[in-house]
Amino acid sequence: MRTRDIFFNHIAQTSLAPAALEIISAKGSRLKDVNGKEYIDLISGISVSALGHNHPEINNAIKKQVDQGLHFMVYGEFILQPQVMLAELLTTILPEKLNCTYFVSSGSEAAEGALKLAKRFTGRTEIISFQNAYHGSTHGALSVAGNEALKNSFRPLLPDVTILPFDSINSLEKISSRTACVIAETIQGEAGAIVPKKSFIQELRNRCTESGALLVLDEIQVGCGRTGKMFAFEHFGIVPDILLLGKSFGGGMPLSAFISSKEIMSSLTVNPSLGHITTFGGHPVSCAAGFAALNIMRREKLLDTIAEKENIFRKYLVHKHIQSITGKGLLLGIEFENENTCKSIINDCIKSGVVTDNFLFAPNKMRIAPPLNISAEDIRLSSEIIMNSIEQIKN
Ligand code: PMP
C-alpha cells in the first residue's frame, strides 16, 4: 500500500486514472507484478520493448558499456564509439540520403530538432502537420499536434503552423514556397493506428519536392521494424528528407534521433554555432543498447515474421463488437463502438492477465503493440483473453 500511496501522492500524475500496475520484473513478452501475477505484454511500454524484456544480448551490451563509462561529454564534442557504431549501422540500412544522425534522448526532442533544422535550412517559417498527429509534448512538438483539446490550455504555441486533414490528397495543395517542412507520421499512431493511402504519402513527397519544403517523417512509433519493414516509409516507396526515430530505437534505453543528409544537417553547425545542443543525446549506454537491438533484429530476420503475426491476431480477433481492426504489422487498433466499451474490455483484459490500453486520440480503440518477437502461442493466448473480455460486454 505504501508504494501505491507514494506513487499517487509524490509522483506527478498525468491522468486521473493510471493503470497503476506495479511491475517488478519482465522477461520476453511477460510482465510480473509485485504479487507474482503474470501478464502478457501487448503494448511494450508503448512500442518500446520491441525485442521483449530482459534480452540477454541487449543487457550484456548495456553492462559492458556501464563498465567502460556512463557519460563523458555533451553531445557532439567527443568521439564516442557507441554513437559511431550505431550511426554507421544506420547508414547501411537507410537510403543513402539519410546519412547523418543527430542523437537525442526523447521523441519530442527529435521532433523539436527536426522543426528547427527545417526552418534553419529552408529559411522559411511555416510548418504543416496533420489532424490527429502526435509528435511529442514539448512546446514545439505540441504546436504541431493535430488535436486542439491537447493544445488549448498551453497557448500561445508556435506561430505559423497549419494543420491539414490526414490522408486527403486535395489538401496537400496548401504546401507552398512558404512551407519550411511538413511533419507527418508515416502511419499515425495515437490517432488509432491509421494507415494512409500509398498515393497520399507519394503525393505528399511530390508536393514537398515541388515546393522545396522538407518532408519530415515521424517514425518514432512505427519505425525500427514494427510494421514489418525496418522503416514504414518503405511501404510507400518514398524517402523523407528528415526521419525521426525513438521509442524502440534504444533497445529499451532512452534514445531518439533526427536523421537527414549531411548537407541539410550541416546548417545546424553554423550561424549560430551550437544552435542545437543536448547534454545526454546519444548517451553511450543507450547507443550500445540500440546498436545491439538493431543487430539482433536483422540477424534474427524478425521483419519476416511480422506480417504473419498480424494475420494471427486478425484471425483470432473477430467479434460482432469489433467494428474494425486498423494498423499494420504489430501496431493494431481494435475499434469498439465507444470509449466506455473499450475501457471496460481493457480493464477486464488486465484483470485476466493481458496488458493493453487505448490510444491518445482514439479512446474507443484498443492498442495491440507487443514485442516483435512475441510467440505465436502468446498471440493465441492473449487473443483468447481479449475475446473472453469482449464476451463480458452486454449486448
Ligand atoms: N512521435 C510519435 C509518433 C509518438 O508516438 C511519440 C510518443 N508517443 C512521440 C513522438 C514523442 O516521444 P517521447 O514521448 O519520447 O517524447
Q: Is the pLDDT of residue 203 over 90?
A: yes
* Mean pLDDT of all residues belonging to the chain: 97
C-alpha distances in Å from residue 155, one per residue of 108, 144, 148, 159 = 18, 12, 10, 10
Strand order in the sheet with 23-27: 23-27, 30-33, 38-41, 354-355
Question: How far away, in angstroms, is 106 Cα from ligand 1 center?
Answer: 8
Q: Is the pLDDT of residue 113 over 80?
A: yes
Cell 546498436 locates to 291
Q: Is the pLDDT of residue 394 over 80?
A: no
271-277: long-range contacts, CB 8 A cutoff, minimum separation 24: 275/116, 275/120, 276/102, 276/113, 276/116, 276/117, 277/74, 277/75, 277/76
CA distance 264 to 61: 32
Q: Which residue segments constitute the domains of the chain, with CATH numbers given?
A: 3-54+302-394 (3.90.1150.10), 57-299 (3.40.640.10)
pLDDT band at 393; cut points 50, 70, 90: confident
How does DSSP assign 357-395, residue by residue? -EETTEEEEEEE---TT--HHHHHHHHHHHHHHHHTS--
CB 283 within 8 A of CB 71: yes
C-beta of 136 in contact with ligand 1 (< 6 A): yes
Query: Cell digits for 95?
Result: 537510403
Nearest CA to ligand 1 atom 2: 135
Question: How far away, in angstroms, is 66 Cα from ligand 1 center?
Answer: 26
C-alpha distances in Å from residue 201, one per residue of 184, 204, 216, 307, 328 = 9, 5, 12, 21, 15
- Closest ligand 1 atom to residue 46 Cα is 8
* CA-closest candidate to residue 54, choices 292, 222, 247: 292
Cell 516509409 locates to 233
Nearest CA to ligand 1 atom 12: 107
C-beta of 134 in contact with ligand 1 (< 6 A): yes
CB 133 within 8 A of CB 188: yes
Question: How far away, in angstroms, is 392 Cα from ligand 1 center?
Answer: 33
Q: Is the pLDDT of residue 78 over 80?
A: yes
Question: How far away, in angstroms, is 167 Cα from ligand 1 center?
Answer: 20
CA distance 231 to 88: 17
**What pLDDT digit, counting tens, does each position of 216-263 carry?**
999 999 999 999 999 999 999 999 999 999 999 999 999 999 999 999
pLDDT band at 395; cut points 50, 70, 90: low
Phi-psi category of residue 340: left, alpha or beta, with phi > 0 → left and psi -120 to 50 → alpha: alpha
CB 203 within 8 A of CB 211: no
C-beta of 188 in contact with ligand 1 (< 6 A): no
C-beta of 29 in contact with ligand 1 (< 6 A): no
Give me the mean pLDDT over the 90-109 stretch.
Answer: 98
C-beta of 302 in contact with ligand 1 (< 6 A): no
**What pLDDT digit, counting tens, does each position of 15-59 carry?**
999 999 999 999 999 999 999 999 999 999 999 999 999 999 999
Nearest CA to ligand 1 atom 10: 135
Question: How far away, in angstroms, is 110 Cα from ligand 1 center?
Answer: 9
Q: In sequence order, what E strands does 140-299 have?
A: 161-164, 179-185, 214-218, 242-245, 256-260
Which alpha helices (H) appear in 123-265, and where do they start and end? 139-143, 148-151, 198-211, 262-265
Question: How far away, in angstroms, is 139 Cα from ligand 1 center?
Answer: 13
Query: Helix (H, G, I), strand (E, B), or coil: what is residue 201?
Result: helix
